[in-house]
Structure 1
Amino acid sequence: MEFKRFIKQAGCALVCVTMLAACSDNEGTNTNSTSSELTSSTSAGASNSSEAKTASLDYVDQMDKTKIMSFSINVDEAKWKEMLEKASEEEYISADVTINGTTIKNVGIRPKGNSSLMKVVQNDKTDRFSFKIKFDEYVDGQTWLGLDQIVINNMDADNSYLKEYLSYDIMSSIGVDAPLYAFADISVNGKAWGFYLAVEVLDSAYLDRTQEGEGELYKPNNDNGMMGMGGGNFKAPNGEGMPEMPNGEDMPMLDMKNMPEMPADMENMPAFPADMQPPAEGDGNGGRGAGGFGGRGGMNGAGNGVSLVYSDDNIESYSAIFDNAETKTTEEDHARVITALKNLNAGTDLEKYIDVDAVLKYFAAHTVVVNMDSYTANMAHNYYLYENEGQLSILPWDYNLAFGGFMSGNASDVVNQAIDTPVSGVTLEERPLLGKLLEVPEYKEQYHNYLQEIVDNYFANGKFEQTVSNLNQLTSEHVKNDPTSFTTFDAYSKAVAELTKLGKLRVESIQGQLDGTIPSTTEGQKADKSKLIDASPVDLTKIGNMGKGMGGGRGGLGERPAGTDSGAKSQQAQSDQKQTDKQ
């Protein structure tokens, strides 16, 4: 570890020199012009280990969550259009990007996402993709004021524009090392593109900011273009490498244009046919751990290590973890992770192999915001695994489907989600990073204490409502002027009000569960539903969810920005909007 520390510190010094040379070209007015002008609470997590390191992380002050960032993307129009047309390939092209007035030349930019990307790909009325910007894709060592990569997220499935922001804010409030985040206006070749959320990518700069450059990062992932459902070798959209169903037929392609709406009551969903049920662990048909179809993630997405279930000591058994390392790792690093997983699953030496305090804080905040597009549900993705000297912890990522936005059923399921079994479609045994800790009475009490801390310090004192109100004041005009919004301004306003209502009821239920007046397990709630909080005043569809994240917007699904070679489609979008307004 000492050698790694030396290498990382030397690399940091090189980045500082490169940064000064690469970011000297300033264009426009920097709304966050100097770090001395900012008082953002987001900078509180930055490392103060040395003046040199602090100087290399100037992006921290620029990502001020109380202000609106600006991104100006200058790019060859033909290459931009081609990239959008081939968005599912997620290939980088070169662009010059000006962030808050500082220009970084020749950076890589590409569309990003999974189900959200495919929804845009398969709709001809919008190009409102989320994007990933990699500053050193073409210039070694290049950063934006010390940051390696940043993403700008398109607010898919979130009419309120607030779900991901609030999730990270709640995480940060309890002491979770969440990524930095801030709202941002995006333009392309001088034309307004959209109002997005900028999020710091968890990479080497993040480690410098939060961990003094120490440790290794992984982003366990078994999606492979199939939204987490089987298909480790799936190659869309040409059908090659399609996984077989248990009955021998090919997996059908999803028609995103004609997807049926999710039923209001997910409990009434028809069951899978018997021959489509995910095989149980160890039955010879599933993957490693809590596998699935062919050990490639399956219908519960848990193959090849993403569930953190220990299977054996073979590095190949955890390819979903190690193939997605965000730092340069070795077999020795991988062996430490496997050893930690082995002890986690056995429940031995937990404090040696798990950063118990950090993990409990994460799950407390995660439980509050009810995000099932995550580790705690079927697909077991959208999180980072951090390892340092053999100890593991979990870090948050991708919360646009929080607050019940992901196949969560009715509002009561979200408001009353059981705090002691906060999983969906899986058991706590299949999610050992949470399950094994909750088996220990001391850790369960500590977890409850963190839930209570969030309730007291973020909700009961009125902070949640005030935060939402402040954010509405900050963002409403930007939402109103968003040329590619997935929603209307009226729907946005209703979503903000509905989200406020949902948050208050959710915390009322959590408080009741902590007090013992409401059952805190799923089984207990099923046995006595009379004690649950009445969630009938909440309409989840107004906030936005996976099934309706792109409906009812400007142009139906977000019209393309003017001047992007899609005039005919933009005219059709305007016609659609007029028809929507009549309805």
Structure 2
Amino acid sequence: MKRTYCLLLALALSTLGAGCGGEEIENGGQGATLPCYPPDAAVADGDPSALYAASDVPRFDFRLRDETWADLQANPIEEEYVEAEACYRGSSLGLVGLRFKGGYGTLEMCVEEQQELPCPKLSMKVRFDEYVDGQRFFRQKRLNFHSMIRDPTKLHERLAYDLYRDMGVAAPRSAWATLHVNGEPLGLFSMVEDADGRFTENQFPEDPDGSLYEAAWPVSTDSAYYAGKIKTNEEEATHERFIAFAEDLASTEGAERLAALSTWMDVEELQRYLAVDDAILNWDGITTFYVDEDGSAANHNYFVYEEPSSGTFRVVPWDLDNTLSLGSWRFFGGAAHWTETPEMCPEDVPVLEGRAQLRVPGCDVLFSALRQDLAGYRSAVRGLLDGPFREGQLEEQVDRYAKLIRSSVEEDAHGPPRPAWEADVAYLRSELSEMRSRMERFLDEAARTERGE
């Protein structure tokens, strides 16, 4: 039966030049394709929690025609799906769409730099129903594989996403995987849940059919702005609530602005979000407003979910590889803290040695509203420091996750040598105490200010 299936699958995929049955592909002595056995129904319909809670690092194999793979590598910035046969732990996942993905730091910059292999590997995205309607993998339509080239520890995303969820903030799940294409090992990747309709079903089971926006902020009354950022319900959404949210913030000040914010968002949840955001030193998230050439400013690396029954909005974090590093935060995080009010707004400050400008987040309408309840924010910080960010808790997770991926890091020809990686993991572990102390100092300074000292 297995031989017959493989023969039929090989014939069906002959246009791809992909086989079935584990034939070896020359790759300088490294790796070979795994046998790609018939699909396992449990894989297609399984609980996605099991995928992200695995006690090992799974292997994915993708088989493409040689010319297709070469063309994909030559034109990564186009981010167009190509046909590939996918295998997971040796079981066929069928025909899927495969493409490169990333933002400026993980894709565009890698293409722009005029040097050989400026980035050792590129992030990838898989769409399981691109060519086969209804095809799923652990009930998911899409799956992200992040290259982690800006994270020397390979731990940041998992640790950071865990912290948000531990603080009651909806966040994608993540783990790790190794990828092979035509038998060539691409190395270790962070495997991250996609923010789409399946994500909203999982995270908001009592209200799963709302609109999900990517990097949309309540600053515009132009429906075209929101239409360009919506990821679900593209045809049905009118964006009226988002526009009304923006209008309410823009037309109020002080305590009234906080009251307006409270009608559109769960303020306590937002305070918990920012407590984690601050603690992990997320200099590239919702508080970072990059100034464009036309003078406008925008933040990124987040999603916003509009709950259909309540009409309220919830922020979802995204792209966290640049977190949990005191060094990068000190170099890139040049703007004042969102709780600080500049004398004049807007106020822009140079970063990246003058190569970019950031707008001070204290000038933003949402943060100016949230600033009216700093006691609530401090309470969220205390809950974080006494809870998932407490002494020893994150250190234990660093040790456990490092043990899980250690052999995969060592086998990754595109990653750091193991001694360098071990040193980076140890350095991250040692920095956690300073990260806590930084947040404790914030609380102490706030307390002294309240006492008039």
TM-score (norm 2): 0.76
Question: Is 2:211 aligned against 1:216?
Answer: yes
Q: 2:314 matched to 1:393? A: yes
Alignment of 1:308-347 (within 5 A): 308-310=218-220, 312=221, 314-316=222-224, 319=225, 321-330=226-235, 333-345=238-250, 346=252, 347=257
1:162 positional shift: 1.2
Shift of 1:28: 5.6
Distance 1:331 1:104, change over 3 A: closer
Q: Distance in 2 between matches of 1:332 and 1:59?
A: 28
Counterpart of 2:315, as a letter, is I
Q: Which amino acid aligns with 2:228?
A: D
Check conservation: 1:72, 1:97, Cα contact below 8 A: yes
Which residue in the other structure is 1:11 paired with? none
- Out of 126, 137, 140, which is 1:147 matched to? 140
Distance 2:146 2:267 in 1: 31
- 1:383 corresponding residue in structure 2: 302
After superposition, the Cα gap between the structure-2 partners of 1:330 and 1:359, relative to the gap in structure 1 and judged at 3 Å, is farther
Residue number in structure 1 paired with 2:339? 420
1:65 shift after superposition: 5.8
Q: Is the partner of 1:373 in helix, strand or coil?
A: coil
- Among 107, 118, 124, the alignment partner of 1:117 is 107
State the one-letter code of the partner of 1:117.
L
Structure 1 residue aligned with 2:85: 96
Shift of 1:469: 1.2
Tell me how far apart the structure 2 counterparts of residues 166 and 417 of structure 1 sit (CA, whole Å): 25
Letter of the structure 2 residue corresponding to residue 200 of structure 1: E
Q: In the TM superposition, what is the alpha-carbon distance from 1:119 to its structure 2 partner?
A: 3.6
User: 1:505 Cα deviation (Å)?
Assistant: 0.1
Query: Is residue 2:370 matched to residue 1:437?
Result: yes
SS at match of 2:289: coil
Q: Which residue of 2 aligns with 1:170?
A: 163
> 1: CA distance between counterparts of 2:336 and 2:393?
22
Work out which of the residue numbers 242, 258, 264 in structure 2 matches 1:353. 264
Deviation at 1:395, TM superposition (A): 0.3
How many positions carry a matched residue from both structures?
Answer: 382
Cα distance, 1:482–1:446 mapped onto 2, change above 3 Å: same
Question: 1:431/1:194 Cα in 2 relative to 1: closer, same or farther (>3 Å)?
Answer: farther
Instruction: Give a deviation string over 1:113-151, Cα, whole Å, max 9, x none.
Output: 122113433442356110011112222222212101111
SS at match of 2:329: coil
In the other structure, the counterpart of 2:353 is none
Q: 1:100 to 1:334 in 2, by over 3 A?
A: farther
In structure 2, distance between residues paired with 1:332 and 1:476: 45
Contact 1:350 1:356 in 2 (8 A): yes
Report the alpha carbon displacement of residue 438 of structure 1 after superposing the two structures with TM. Answer: 2.3
Measure how far apart 1:489 and its partner are.
Answer: 2.1
Inter-partner Cα distance in structure 2 for 1:405 and 1:99: 37
**Unmatched tracts of structure 1, length 5 or more:** 1-24, 36-54, 221-305, 521-527, 529-583
Q: Distance in 2 between matches of 1:430 and 1:93?
A: 44
Q: Of 421, 432, 450, which aligns to 1:503?
A: 432
Amino acid at match of 1:308: P
Q: Is the 8 A contact 1:120 1:127 kept in 2?
A: no
| Residue 388 of structure 2: aligned partner | 458
Matched ranges for 1:16-95 at <5 A: 58-64=47-53, 66-95=55-84
TM-score w.r.t. structure 1 length?
Answer: 0.60
1:352 deviates by: 2.4
Q: Specify every segment of 5 or more residues in structure 2 that has no aligned partner in the other structure, as ranges.
A: 1-19, 22-33, 291-298, 342-347, 350-357
Judging changes above 3 Å, is the alpha-carbon distance between structure 1 residues 341 and 57 closer, same or farther for their aligned structure 2 residues? Answer: farther
For the structure 1 residues 519 and 78, does the alpha-carbon distance in structure 2 shift closer, same or farther, using more than 3 Å as the test? farther
Residue matched to 1:402:
323
Is 1:207 aligned to residue 200 of structure 2? yes
Tell me the alpha carbon deviations over residues 426-466 of structure 1, each in whole angstroms, 9 at most, x when there is no partner. 23344333331222x3xx32322221122112233411111
Contact map agreement 2:284 2:300 (CA 8 A) in 1: yes
Moved more, 338-347 or 419-428: 419-428
Q: Percent identity?
A: 24
Q: Is the 8 A contact 2:175 2:191 kept in 1?
A: yes
The 1:374/1:460 distance shift into structure 2, 3 A limit, reads closer
Q: In the aligned structure 2, how far is the partner of 1:377 from the partner of 1:406?
A: 17
Q: CA deviation at 1:398?
A: 0.2
Secondary structure class of the residue paired with 1:445: helix
1:329 aligned counterpart, secondary structure: coil
- CA–CA separation in structure 2 for the residues paired with 1:215 and 1:353: 14
Closer/same/farther in 2, CA of residues 163 and 117 from structure 1, 3 Å limit: same
Worse-matched range after superposition: 147-156 or 511-520: 511-520
Higher mean alpha-carbon deviation, 143-152 vs 336-345, is at 336-345
Match of 1:472 among 402, 421, 425: 402
Match for residue 108 of structure 1? 97
> CA 1:324 to 1:517, structure 2 compared with 1: closer, same or farther past 3 Å?
closer
Q: Distance in 2 between matches of 1:110 and 1:184?
A: 17
Tell me: CA distance 1:452–1:87, structure 2 relative to 1, closer, same or farther (3 Å). same
User: What secondary structure is seen at the aligned counterpart in 2 of 1:349?
Assistant: helix
CA deviation string 1:216-261 (max 9, x = no partner)? 10112xxxxxxxxxxxxxxxxxxxxxxxxxxxxxxxxxxxxxxxxx
**Aligned in 2, Cα 1:215/1:357: closer, same or farther, shift over 3 Å?**
farther
Q: Which amino acid aligns with 2:398?
A: V
Please tell me whether the aligned partners of residues 509 and 518 of structure 1 are also in contact (alpha carbons under 8 angstroms). Answer: no
| Aligned partners of 2:340 and 2:362 also within 8 Å | no
| Alpha-carbon spacing, 1:333–1:448, altered in 2? closer, same or farther (3 Å) | farther
Cα deviation for residue 358 of structure 1 reads 2.7
The residue that corresponds to 1:48 in the other structure is none
Q: 1:431, 1:113 → 2: CA distance? A: 27
Aligned CA RMSD, in angstroms, stands at 3.3
Secondary structure of 2:192's counterpart equals strand
Residue equivalent to 1:289: none
C-alpha spacing 1:349/1:119, structure 2 compared with 1 (3 Å): closer
CA contact (8 A) 1:340 1:354 kept: no
For 2:421 and 2:340, the matched residues in 1 are separated by 32
Of 119-128 and 206-215, more deviation after overlay is shown by 119-128
The one-letter code sitting in structure 2 at the alignment partner of 1:349 is A
